[in-house]
Every structure is written in structure tokens, then in C-alpha cells.
Amino acid sequence: MNKATGRLIGRVLATEKSPTTMDKFCFWTEQDEKLGAFDIVKVKHLEGSFTFGVIENISHITDAQSFLTNFISSDFGDVSIEEPTFRVGMNYAEAKVSFNDRNLYTPVHNNSEVFLATQEEITFALGLANVENPLVCGTLKMYAGTSDEITLPVHLNSKFLLGPEGAHLNISGISGLASKTSYAMFLMKAIQEQYLQRSDPDDSVAFVIFNVKGKDLMAIDKPNDFDGKTDLRDKTLKDYADIKLSTEPFQKVRYFIPFSDPTSPKRSTYLDKDDVEDYIKAGKLKKYKYVYEADKESIEMMFANVDDPQQTMQSIISKIIDTDDTDFSSLKTWDNCMEKVAEKSQKGSSRGKGDDISVLSWRKFKRVFRKAVQDDMFSNRAEGSHSECRLGEALKTVKSNEVCVVDIAKLPEDKQAFVFGDAMRTLYNLKLGEYDGEKGVSPPSRVVIFIDELNKYASKDIPNGSPILHEILEVTERGRSLGIILFAAEQFRSNIRERVTGNCATHAYGRTNSIETSAHDYGSLPGTYKNMLTRLEQGDYLIQNPIFRSLLKIHFPLPIYKQFK
């Protein structure tokens, strides 16, 4: 590493009550020295080595023994007096040790010189030098607002994001200000761009993205027009060029919207009719359906948020999908099934041999089932000639570098859950090899699934028996080895089950509130960092990844794909 030295800014402090340790040290600076949390400093240490530290807090003190001392010295509280008694003051910073260039982690000594770090030294101190399989995840800025300001790209090892070393991404932050979806999309664009330059079939990736808000993600293959703001456009394009990413939107995109009867005034998507027609003509949009004979095994997804402590709902579902059950095996349509369920719900209805399910349980099942299947997307068949498809069948055939956007934004929450859960199961089974040999099935080595509003499917309030929760746990706990990766976002991380967040190798913390940061999930963060989370700007995130030696504050550019107001 280059031994070039940055500017000398202070010296180490070590007192009886505040000694330096292997992990931390303090140093004084001049009162007007501009430093901030996450800035890197270096300290001269033993054998010509340097110890690097990340600033966690900065304080200002004077020689006054108490607040009362200052009050008295101002003529007992005369606010117009300009400090008649001179006070000696200084700033001191607390820093966490991140790295020593000779692996000497003994405490730094009192009065050791403290310097600003050079750009090369910052990359070594944070673990950003010589990153294998580099994937850009943003930029970081040191010594902001000073003549020493440094901006550099941040790369993580993609194998710690996409496997096999580590996998899964969790993004948290309040709605709107945290830009959770935009950050996930930024990372996926960087991943797609990287893999488009490869031709190895054993190292490929595809994406399945769920659009949950308006038509936010329904034009990601179209460029951002920046509302005609030339300056904003030029700045954004430069931001992408600086981190060596192209300014092209996503490529190889397919869209899937829920089927709705064209004669009905009720529409199943926020996309304009003209857009739908244009997408169909371009061959990049299909309307998805669920066909009874092929999709009845997914009925349990309709009961994801229904408590079933006695598993009676599960027993009914097992009867419906059992090919040997005389009551249900010959049924062909959702209406046929609904009629049979209604029959079972009648008081005094006859039961088959070994049928111990009560009428009350059948009635409970009927209420949920009827509400779910009263939707146009539950149909008798899918007409390929009319740009219709079964969603499960379409996802089976996902190819390398493809982006499949599944629109669920206009569906009610129970049907959103159904579609998401069914797609998760299909993709998990795809990677298990259950569809090997079927026509058109040739999955990439990795499939990234992105879902916003994870709290709807994996919060601590979701019943333990939820089939969707089960699928999410399967993916986060075992998906890494199969090559199925979850990118998930939520407003409040503290409400997500620990088995989900605990299995994510990468965490992105966006702007949130002080109530959230007081939760157990943020206990490992220094107090200053928690406070920073309440005032982060849009586009800023605190990132945690196994290859980084400490938490990093990064910034990412505006989306390069079309934005809707």
C-alpha cells in the first residue's frame, strides 16, 4: 500500500478513565476541523504501521467544570456578554478500529499522530481493495464539504449477494423517503449488466420482480425522461458513467398482468389500455390466469393469513387435490369445486368414509375460497393466441438475463399474497429440478426474486402455519445452495421475523424514525448511526455486507428507467 500521508489533523488521547483499546480510540482536533461520522482516519503505530479508524462520534468540550461555570462567567446569565472569561476548548472524536496494515491490533499510543486517509488507504481500511467478483453498490464520500473531499465507488463481492458464499438482501426504511424499490432496482440493473457480458451457462441469472405500487415498475425497459430537466439528466448520466454502469434501462423484460374480462369496466392493472396493447404487439406482455386442474395445488396460498391451529383448512385442501378422492378428483373448473364445497357446507350433508371434517370448517373454508376465486384471473383455460398464460407455466421458462415483472398492484391483498406465494413455490420447485425435462425449461443458475412490502408475508404477526411464510423461510434458509435469491424490502425491519432477516447476508438501512431505531434489531449500531438513520437523504443507505470491515454510508444515483408521477 502506498505510504503517502494525508493531512495531520490531531493526536490520540488516552486517559485513566478513557484508555485506548484494541477496538477503539479517541483523538483531539482543532475546533474548526470538519469531520463527520463514517470518515476514515489513520494513526501512526508500532513498527511503522498505521491503524485506521472509522469515526463514530464527535464531541466538543471546554475547561469549564459544569454548565453553571459558564453561566456564572457570563455575568450570571447576561446573554449579551461575549465570553468575558476565555475558555479553552477542543473537539474530540471517537473512532472504531477497522484495520491495521501489519495486523498489529494492540492499542494505539497516547499522542500518536492522526491523519486523514488517502483514497487508496480508505479502500484498504474498509475492505474495498481488490474485491473479487466486484459488483458496484453505490458511492461513498469522505470529508464532505472540505477541500479534502473524496468520492469513490463501492464494490461488494457478488458471490456474497447472489451466492454461493452468502445470499439475500434486506432493505428497510420508511415509505417514499427511503427509496427502497429504487435501490433494489439499481442493484439488479448492475447485476444484469454484469451478466449480460458473460456467456457461461453455469453462471447466469434471471429476475422476477413484483410490482406492488401503481405502475412503478411497468416500464423498466424504457429510458427515464427526467421530466425534461436537462441538468438532472446530465448529472444522473454522469453518476452512472462515474461508476462504470451504462445509461441504458433494463433489457430482456417481460410483463405479466392479471387477466380481466375485456367487457368488464373493472381493470386489473394501472397500466393504460394503450400501453397494454403496445406491449402485447411488441410481444412482451401476457395476461396471467389460474386454471383449476393445473393450479389447484396452490389453493393453500389463499389461506396464508388465516389461523388454522387444528389444520382443518389444510385437511380440506388435501381432499381437494387428492387424485383418489371421489368427491373432488373428477372436477374440472373452479365453479365445479365451489359447488362441491358449498354442498359440503350444508347442514346435514353426507360425509364420505373417514371424513371427519365438520360442517363449520367447510363453511369457514367456503368463505375464504369464494372470495378468492371470484376474480377473472381464476379461469377455465388460458388462450395463448390471446396473449394469455398460466403464470406458473410462464415462470418455469424464465431464461438467462430475463426480467419478469409480475403486476399485482391492483389486486386486493389476499390475491396479491396468492400470486406471490404461488410464484415463489413455482420458482423454488424449478430450482429443485421438479420441472426438468419439460418443454422450454432451462433455468439459469440463479433466480433473483424481488418483493416490496415484505411485512405482508413475513411479519411477526403472520401465522406460523402460513404457506407463504413457509416458502420465504425455505428460500432464505436453503435457497442459497439452489441459486434462488430473495431481495426484499419493508418499512419496519423490526417487525420482520428474525429467521428471515438473519439469513440475509446484505442489509441496507434507509431513513426511518427514532421509534424504529430503538428496537432490538438496531442494537448493534452506535448511537450516532441510529440518529443518522432518522435524517438520511433520499438515495443514501447504510450498507452491511460480510466483506466490509464496517458499516458504510453509500449513495446511489436516480433510476435510469422510466418514472411515473
DSSP characters over 155-222 = EEEGGGTBSSSSB-EEEE--TTTT-HHHHHHHHHHHHHHHHHT---TTS-EEEEEEE-STTTTTTTTS
Q: What is the pLDDT of residue 437?
A: 85
The answer to whether residue 280 scores a pLDDT higher than 60 is yes
Q: Which three cell numbers stand for residue 448?
A: 433473483
> DSSP assignment of 397-445, as one string?
T--TT-EEEEE-TTS-HHHHHHHHHHHHHHHHHHHHTTTTTSTT----S
Provide the mean pLDDT of the chain. 88
Give the tens place of pLDDT for each residue, 452-464.
Answer: 989 999 988 888 8
Amino acid 122 reads I
- How far is it, in rounded angstroms, from Cα 148 to Cα 150? 6
The answer to whether residue 3 scores a pLDDT higher than 70 is no
Q: State CA 358 to chain mean position distance.
A: 43
The answer to whether residue 425 scores a pLDDT higher than 60 is yes
Amino acid 285 reads L
The answer to whether residue 138 scores a pLDDT higher than 90 is yes
This prediction has a pTM of: 0.89
79 band by pLDDT with thresholds 50, 70 and 90 = confident
530 band by pLDDT with thresholds 50, 70 and 90 = confident
Lowest mean pLDDT among 300-304, 328-332, 382-386, 387-391: 382-386
Q: What is the pLDDT of residue 531?
A: 87
Count CB-CB contacts under 10 A for residue 66: 8
Collapsed DSSP state (helix, strand, coil) of residue 296? helix
Lowest mean pLDDT among 226-230, 277-281, 325-329: 325-329
- How far is it, in rounded angstroms, from Cα 380 to Cα 336? 11
